Amino acid sequence: GKDGYRHYMEKELHEHPLVIGQTLQRMVDPATRRVSLPDLPFNLASVPRAVITACGSAFYAGMVGRYWLEELARLPVDIDVASEMRYRDPPLTPGSLGLLISQSGETADTLAALRGLREKAIHILSVLNVEHSTMARESDTVLGTVAGPEISVASTKAFTAQLTVLACLSIATARARGKLDSLREEELVGALLDLPSRAADVFKQGDAIRTMARVVAEARDVLYLGRGSLFPVAMEGALKLKEISYIHAEAYAAGEMKHGPISLIDRSVPIVATAPSTPLFDKTLSNLQEAKARGGRLLVFTDTRGAERVGAIAEHMVVLPSVHDFVAPILQTIPVQILAYEVAVLKGTDVDQPRNLAKSVTVE
């Protein structure tokens, strides 16, 4: 049941802290602050490249994974949505790693992409929530997200669990490739172990998020902006808003705004920014100033350090706990999903069963 929540989505949003913690329990030793993955049938140190593919939210999780694998592990990564990947014919070195991500393990396009990669002698490592699924059977290795059943069509907790697994995989890959010393590993694992309690703190911002939701609910179009590993979080926010509130939303890498979408900006198109104080914060802030100067209404998700700098340019701000840069995309996802939920509630839509959508898309 819904345990007293109005919708499964609301219940599942509240499970973020628990699910991140459970997923970490499988992959991290809190005593040594080291990642320990199950034995893999291939060597992470010698994989020449990774190909990541998935659909929808799982694809955005993969995009964050790309930033981590490139930055931490110095592993070349190719990524595409599965509906494109299955019809592409990328030149691949045998022994590469195919990284498939899916909550259900049954998504038709992702499964077809998996089979296509297999034929090219690619190791298939799947990040799956449903461990007895078709994709699980056809993979060489499965890393499970411990999110429990996700009922709401809009994915929430499975997404942060996917990010948690990808973060651990990136650390393990970096270590295997000699790119991570043990001090830095302890620091990154420490940041992950801090997440469940920081994630619980996000729910203290409910009023601030609902204030933002009232602005968004009046809009016909909304622009989401983010940079680096926060860009996929902006994409996740825009997708969630579209899915359940039926408001048109688009996500842009903040630096791309001046290459087109800036012409849309006026008071009727609110701008939602995911802008915690990571090393790219100043860049995002200057994009927000440009938007403000053109009459844009800024709704900004930031953290305690970023809040001072964002200051008065934001019409509304949600100030989240400051966390390590590495895990910022995981934390920032939660309020962005809550915003979509609150907008849908204001609009009175069928939150758990939005029109035209299915929980698992088993046809092409």
Nearest Cα neighbor of 72 from 209, 200, 166 is 166
Residue 40 exposed, middle or buried by CB count within 10 Å (0-12, 13-18, 19+):
middle
Tell me the C-alpha distance between 142 and 80, whole Å.
20
* Dihedral sign (CA 296, 299, 302, 303): positive
- Looking at residue 322, what DSSP letter applies? P
Is 190 in a helix, a strand, or coil?
Answer: helix
The site string for ligand M6R over 64-103 (x = CB under 6 A, - otherwise) reads --------------------------------------xx
Tell me the C-alpha distance between 176 and 161, whole Å.
23
The values of phi and psi at residue 166, to 5°, are -65, -35
Q: Whose Cβ is closer to ligand M6R: residue 107's or residue 277's?
A: 107
Binder of ligand M6R out of 83, 96, 104, 287 (CB under 6 A) = 104
Binder of ligand M6R out of 127, 154, 253, 318 (CB under 6 A) = 154
Binder of ligand M6R out of 55, 147, 330, 338 (CB under 6 A) = 55
Residues touching ligand M6R: how many (CB under 6 A)? Answer: 16
Q: Considering only 53-61, 136-144, 196-204, 342-350, which stretch makes contact with ligand M6R by CB under 6 A?
A: 53-61
Check if the beta carbon of residue 254 is closer than 8 Å to that of residue 225: yes
Tell me the C-alpha distance between 37 and 30, whole Å.
14
Known catalytic residue: 359? yes
Q: Considering only 87-95, 104-112, 197-205, 259-267, which stretch makes contact with ligand M6R by CB under 6 A?
A: 104-112
Q: Whose Cβ is closer to ligand M6R: residue 145's or residue 278's?
A: 145
Residue 328 binding ligand M6R, by CB under 6 A = no
Report, as residue numbers or ranges, the catalytic residues: 359
- The binding site for ligand M6R (CB under 6 A) comprises 55-58, 102-104, 107, 110, 153-155, 239, 243, 360-361
